[in-house]
C-alpha cells in the first residue's frame, strides 16, 4: 500500500492506471445503475465476452496483416456495439428468444476471439490481459480513447436520465406516454457496451459483470433515488478500483481479481448488514 | 347520460389471439363520454387484452378498435393509465414525485427536462389523491393503498380525458378500496373512466355500465347484473353477495 503511494510519483504507468480507474468508475456508476434496475446483467455479460472476438480480431489484423491503426481497444468497441445492437434488435423483434441470443453472442464472441489469438504469432500474454485485465499496461494513447468514451457515456447517460428512468421503471407506461422505448433500449445497450469496454481494461472480460453490478447493487440498498444510486456506485467503484490497485501492488497480485474480491466482500457485508438492521427495526 | 353520446372507445367485431389461442372473439361495444365502465370476468378471460388493445400495445387480429374516433396510438396522449402495481419492481429507487412526473413524459422537452408546469401538474395530481405529503418519500416505502394512489396520480398527471385502470383494488383492504372508488366517482365528473376488475359485486355500486368478458363479451347497465348473467359468463352458478347501500342505484344512468 505504502509502496504504491511512493511509486506513484516515479512511475507514469501507475498514474495512467489510476486515471483509468477514475474515468471508468464514473461511467460504471451511471450505467451500472441502469443495468441493475433494468435487470440486464446477462446482456452486459454477453457483450463483455463478445469483446474477445473484437480484441482478438484487431490484434490479428495488427500483427498478421500489418494494420497498425487497428488497436484492440477499437476492436473491442466495434464488437461490443455490434453485440448490443443484435441483442436489442432480438428483444424488439421477438421477445421470447432473447436469452438464447444472449448465450449465442456470449459464446460466439469468445470462440472467434480464441481462434484469432491462436492464429496470431507471439506470446499468449494478450489473451491473459484481455481476459483478466491489464490496467498497469494502459498507454497514454489508450487513455485518450478511454477519456473520450467516458465523456460520451457519462454525457449521454445523464442527458437522457428522465427518459431512461421511465423506461427502467415502467416500460409499458413510458411507451403509452409516447416515448420511443425501443430506441432508448438500444441506446441503453450501446451505453452498456461502451462502459463494458472501459471496464475490460480495468478488470478484464471475465470479471466485468461484477464491477458493473456489485457497486450498483450495494448502492441500491442505500439509495432512495436513481441519481443517488449513480453517485454512490461511482464512488464505490472508485474506492474498489483504487483500493484494489493499491493493495495488489506491493505483493504483486493481479489487480483485477483483487478489485473484484474487495467489491464482493463489501457487497456481502452490505447485504448482511441490511438484513441484520432490518431485523432490529422489525 | 345527458348530452354524452360521444363515443370514446369503440370495439367493432374485435378478435385477438395469443399464439393461436383465441382470447377475445368478435367483441363489439362502445364506451361513451362520461361513462364509468367496468370490464369484469374471470382471469384469462380477455380483460387485460382489451385494455392493451385500447392502449395500442397490441393489435387486433380482426375488427377495429377506435379511441376518441382515431387509432389507439394517436389517442394515447389523452389516456391516463394505471397498471397493476405487481408489474413493477418493488425495490426500484425512485421518489413518489418522480413517479408522478412520469405522467408528464409526453411533454418532456427535447433536452429531457421537466418544465415548471410539469412539476405543478404532478403536485396537483398528488393533491387529488391526497398524497402530497409523501412527495419526497421513496416509492418503495409506501403501503399497497398508498402506492395505488401514487400510480393513480401518475395517470392523472397526464390530464387525461379517459382514465383506464387495471385491477385498481388488488392487494388493498376494503377501507382503501372504498376510498379509491369514492375518489374515482368524483373524478368521473370530469373524465370517462374504464376499469378492469374481478370484483363484480363491489364495483356495481359505483359503475354505470359493465361488460362481462370471457372470450366473448356481454354488455349490461349495472342494474341488470343478475345471477343468470354471471353464470352465463363464468360458466357456473356463483353466489352473488348483495352489499348494503345498493339503494339509490335507480337514479344512476343505465
Domain spans of chain A?
2-281
Residues of chain B neighbouring A177 (CB-CB closer than 8 A): 76, 102-103, 105-106, 158
Which residue range(s) make up the domain with B34?
7-84+161-251
Interface size between A and B, measured as CB pairs under 8 A = 76
Q: Which fold has domain A2-281?
A: ABC transporter involved in vitamin B12 uptake, BtuC (1.10.3470)
Residue B225's pLDDT is 56
Residue B191 lies in a domain: yes
Is pLDDT above 80 for A151?
A: yes
Q: Could you say which of A39, A176, A229 has the minimum Cβ distance to residue B79? A: A176
Between residues B41 and B151, the one the model is more confident about: B151
Does B138 contact A170 at a Cβ distance shorter than 8 Å?
no
How large is the average pLDDT for residues B120-146? 90
A 149-168 residues with CB < 8 A to B: 159-163, 165-166, 168
* Number of domains chain B contains: 1
The confidence band for B147, taking pLDDT boundaries of 50, 70 and 90, is confident
Does position B1 have pLDDT exceeding 60, yes or no? no
pLDDT(A63) > 90: no
Average pLDDT over residues B89-114: 86
Position B240 in a domain: yes
- Per residue in A11-50, pLDDT (tens digit) is 888 888 899 999 999 999 999 999 999 999 999 999 999 9
> Is A176 an 8 Å CB contact of chain B?
yes
Residue B63 lies in a domain: yes
Cell of B240: 352473488
Its sign, for the CA torsion B196, B201, B205, B208, is: positive
Q: What is the ipTM of this complex?
A: 0.83
CA dist A276 → A269, A270, A280, B86, B119 (Å): 10, 10, 6, 27, 38
d(CA A149, CA A152): 5
- Give the closest residue to A29 by CA, choosing from A281, A235, A279, A242: A235
- Please tell me which residue, B208 or B117, carries the higher pLDDT value: B117
CATH number assigned to the domain comprising residue B168 = 3.40.50.300
Q: Does A15 touch chain B (CB under 8 A)?
A: no
Among residues B67, B80, B73, B75, which one has the least CA distance to residue B33?
B67
A30, A156, A173, A187: best to mutate for the B interface, most B CBs within 10 A:
A173
Of A89-103, A244-258, B124-138, minimum mean pLDDT range? A89-103
Residue-wise pLDDT for A180-198, tens only, equals 999 999 999 999 999 999 8
Q: What is the pLDDT of residue B85?
A: 73
Which residue carries 480480431 as its cell? Answer: A57
**What are the chain A neighbours of B115 within 8 Å (beta carbons)?**
none
Chain A contact present for B102, CB below 8 A: yes
A225–B113 CB contact, under 8 Å: no
Amino acid at each position: 500500500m505504502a509502496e504504491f503511494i511512493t511509486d506513484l510519483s516515479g512511475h507514469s504507468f501507475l498514474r495512467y492506471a489510476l486515471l483509468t480507474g477514475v474515468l471508468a468508475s464514473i461511467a460504471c456508476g451511471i450505467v451500472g445503475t441502469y443495468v441493475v434496475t433494468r435487470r440486464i446483467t446477462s446482456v452486459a455479460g454477453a457483450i463483455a465476452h463478445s469483446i474477445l472476438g473484437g480484441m482478438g480480431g484487431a490484434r490479428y489484423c495488427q500483427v498478421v496483416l500489418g494494420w497498425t491503426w487497428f488497436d484492440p481497444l477499437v476492436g473491442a468497441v466495434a464488437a461490443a456495439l455490434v453485440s448490443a445492437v443484435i441483442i436489442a434488435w432480438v428483444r424488439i423483434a421477438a421477445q421470447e428468444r432473447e436469452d438464447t441470443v444472449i448465450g449465442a453472442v456470449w459464446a460466439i464472441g469468445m470462440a472467434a476471439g480464441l481462434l484469432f489469438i491462436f492464429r496470431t504469432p507471439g506470446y499468449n500474454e494478450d489473451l491473459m490481459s484481455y481476459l483478466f485485465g491489464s490496467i498497469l499496461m494502459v498507454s497514454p494513447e489508450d487513455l485518450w480513447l478511454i477519456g473520450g468514451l467516458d465523456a460520451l457515456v457519462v454525457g449521454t447517460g445523464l442527458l437522457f436520465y428522465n427518459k431512461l428512468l421511465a423506461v427502467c421503471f415502467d416500460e409499458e407506461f413510458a411507451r403509452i406516454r409516447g416515448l420511443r422505448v425501443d430506441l432508448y433500449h438500444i441506446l441503453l445497450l450501446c451505453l452498456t457496451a461502451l462502459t463494458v469496454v472501459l471496464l475490460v481494461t480495468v478488470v478484464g472480460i471475465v470479471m466485468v459483470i461484477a464491477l458493473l453490478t456489485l457497486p450498483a447493487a450495494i448502492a441500491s440498498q442505500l439509495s432512495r433515488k436513481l441519481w443517488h444510486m449513480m453517485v454512490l456506485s461511482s464512488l464505490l467503484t472508485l474506492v474498489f478500483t483504487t483500493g484494489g490497485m493499491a493493495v495488489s501492488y506491493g505483493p504483486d497480485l493481479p489487480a483485477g481479481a483483487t478489485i473484484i474480491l474487495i467489491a464482493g466482500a463489501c457487497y456481502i457485508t452490505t447485504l448482511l448488514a441490511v438484513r441484520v438492521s432490518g431485523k432490529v427495526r422489525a | 347520460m345527458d348530452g354524452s353520446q360521444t363515443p370514446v372507445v369503440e370495439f367493432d367485431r374485435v378478435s385477438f389471439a395469443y399464439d393461436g389461442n383465441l382470447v377475445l372473439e368478435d367483441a363489439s361495444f362502445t364506451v361513451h363520454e362520461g361513462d364509468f365502465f367496468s370490464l369484469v370476468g374471470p382471469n384469462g378471460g380477455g380483460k387485460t387484452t382489451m385494455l392493451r388493445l385500447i392502449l395500442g400495445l397490441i393489435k387486433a387480429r380482426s375488427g377495429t378498435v377506435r379511441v376518441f374516433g382515431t387509432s389507439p396510438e394517436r389517442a394515447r396522449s389523452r389516456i391516463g393509465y394505471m397498471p397493476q402495481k405487481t408489474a413493477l419492481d418493488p425495490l426500484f429507487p425512485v421518489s413518489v414525485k418522480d413517479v408522478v412526473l412520469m405522467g408528464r413524459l409526453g411533454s418532456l422537452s427535447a433536452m429531457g427536462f421537466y418544465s415548471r408546469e410539469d412539476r405543478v401538474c404532478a403536485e396537483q395530481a398528488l393533491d387529488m389523491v391526497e398524497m402530497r405529503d409523501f412527495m419526497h418519500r421513496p416509492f418503495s416505502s409506501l403501503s399497497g393503498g398508498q402506492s395505488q394512489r401514487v400510480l393513480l396520480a401518475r395517470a392523472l398527471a397526464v390530464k387525461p380525458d379517459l382514465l383506464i385502470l387495471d385491477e385498481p383494488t388488488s392487494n388493498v383492504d376494503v377501507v382503501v378500496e372504498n376510498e379509491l372508488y369514492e375518489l374515482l366517482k368524483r373524478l368521473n365528473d370530469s373524465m370517462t373512466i374504464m376499469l378492469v376488475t374481478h370484483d363484480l359485486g363491489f364495483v356495481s355500486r359505483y359503475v354505470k355500465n359493465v361488460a362481462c368478458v370471457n372470450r366473448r363479451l356481454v354488455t349490461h347497465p349495472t342494474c341488470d347484473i343478475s345471477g343468470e348473467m354471471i353464470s352465463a359468463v363464468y360458466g357456473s352458478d356463483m353466489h352473488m353477495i348483495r352489499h348494503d347501500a345498493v339503494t339509490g342505484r335507480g337514479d344512476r344512468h343505465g
